[in-house]
Structure 1
């Protein structure tokens, strides 16, 4: 029997195809064993069984909130799902949510890194998506002082009053006709934010760029809400799928549109020295929300020097840019 086993194994090894198959099985077994050993000491939440490659993605369905509710009834208020190659912890009760959002806030407050949002926010410079740390604290302090302070909120009364009066005038002119309130409310918010960021020139003939911004922002939100393979397979496979589906190229086009808007609008405001009469908030403040540099001048001399430097820099950058989106250029 021993000689038969030796002869059988030598016969298998002598065939190239059999040797490759045995090597592949050995490598797969080794990877699975190492993964199991690495997870052995971790106290992970319970969760449903995972399928190869997909994990638990196939269990979400067209209504993920209902699927998660049903899974939570089976596995408890805190469960683990494997979405592609990404581990995800799902919390489904008020007690567990309080534990995560309040008791362990510092450990759980950073958002997951999405390749799409990372690109659109200039490398997570957006204060809403920046990881918790020194940069986030500095930006939060800036917004509290420059945008949400009592003095600036009171100074913004002019913008709110002007835009509300404009909305009421528009609705009065549509008396007796059906009105899509969503569009008017979005226009109201856009007008208030625009006047706070760019001054009274916003919504005027001197500042025509805002007409394109609303459409681009809606498209950016739609892209971020779309399925991105790289979110669940953060490797070359996910990037390849996004390239094939066209999501990556669409995201890059939106980024260029947003970047051009911030660049041209900031340049226009600086060249006209349109420092807002609503406080010390300048035209570049809105750009900082999306990760661009913010300038908050304190004196007129400082305003002039910074404006001159930024204007020259932006002019040089604009000249080097390609022909794309020329309709936004001054």
Structure 2
């Protein structure tokens, strides 16, 4: 089959009669409608979507509550569209078993979002890396170097020591003040100490020495920023052409937090190399 040059195609289109243009437009619209119907037939049931935002207007401050209410109307397998991102919600044990066990290999897709790009080093950690040889290698490293029975047993004294220190701190504070004690901060510190000891061989507070704090800032605030930004709603992930708005400044904060994280990890790497 011989292909026409671009200028010939354009000249041919310009020479079309008014009625032929109408016919061409009608055929195009019909094709789009037929293709759309083909997709909708195979898509799970769900509420009517709005243009651009999709079903984002149906999610409030507690999205899991909103999705639960929608599932009561549209069933255990529901199709939503968050901006331009199609989403399937499974809300029954049977559907979850099909997705997480039966069809795990086909559905083990990890979305690439602004958080994974900036805070997870372009989706290079085990939680967000795409399924493939690299992800399997990471799982092997985790299994052998962190979570093997021998490794877990070797760090038993770390866990027991942090739990003992946590209990003593709670009892001491309760005895001094004679009132309720907020344990959230102590639990976060104990958890971070355990993780740091297993990964870096130091407690959280012991990592302060030798770190360029003019770049990193407070270590506790860095961890809090990481945890907070991992759960924020960033409009650019769902409506990419509105990413420039960044009304809450999340993208700017992600980039700044990523720079602080790299500075911290670089200090740890340099110390290990020395």
Give the TM-score taking structure 1 as reference length: 0.66
Match of 2:252 in 1: 249
Does residue 60 (structure 1) correspond to residue 50 (structure 2)? The answer is no
Match of 1:10 in 2: none
Match of 2:266 in 1: 263
Match of 1:47 in 2: 46
SS at match of 1:245: coil
Match of 1:230 in 2: 236
Task: Write the distance in 1 (CA, Å) between the matches of 2:226 and 2:87.
Answer: 25
Deviation of 1:139 (Å): 0.6
Count of residue pairs the alignment pairs up: 244
Contiguous gaps of at least 5 residues in structure 2: 1-20
1:293-304 alignment, distance < 5 Å: none
Pairing partner for 2:244 from 230, 237, 240: 240
Match of 2:17 in 1: none
Match of 2:189 in 1: 187
| C-alpha contact 1:110 1:130 (8 A) present in aligned 2 | no
Contiguous gaps of at least 5 residues in structure 1: 1-22, 272-330
Give the TM-score taking structure 2 as reference length: 0.78
SS at match of 2:201: helix
Encode CA deviations 1:232-278: one digit per residue, 9 max, x unaligned: 11x3x232122x4322111101101111111112223332xxxxxxx
Cα RMSD (Å): 2.8
Deviation of 1:62 (Å): 3.5
Pairing partner for 2:223 from 217, 223, 234: 217
Structure 1 segments of 4 or more deviating over 6 A? 29-32
1:41-120 alignment, distance < 5 Å: 41-42=38-39, 43-120=42-119
Task: Write the distance in 2 (CA, Å) between the matches of 1:35 and 1:245.
Answer: 36
Task: Write the distance in 1 (CA, Å) between the matches of 2:82 and 2:171.
Answer: 50
SS at match of 2:80: strand
Task: Write the distance in 2 (CA, Å) between the matches of 1:187 and 1:62.
Answer: 28
Deviation of 1:68 (Å): 2.0
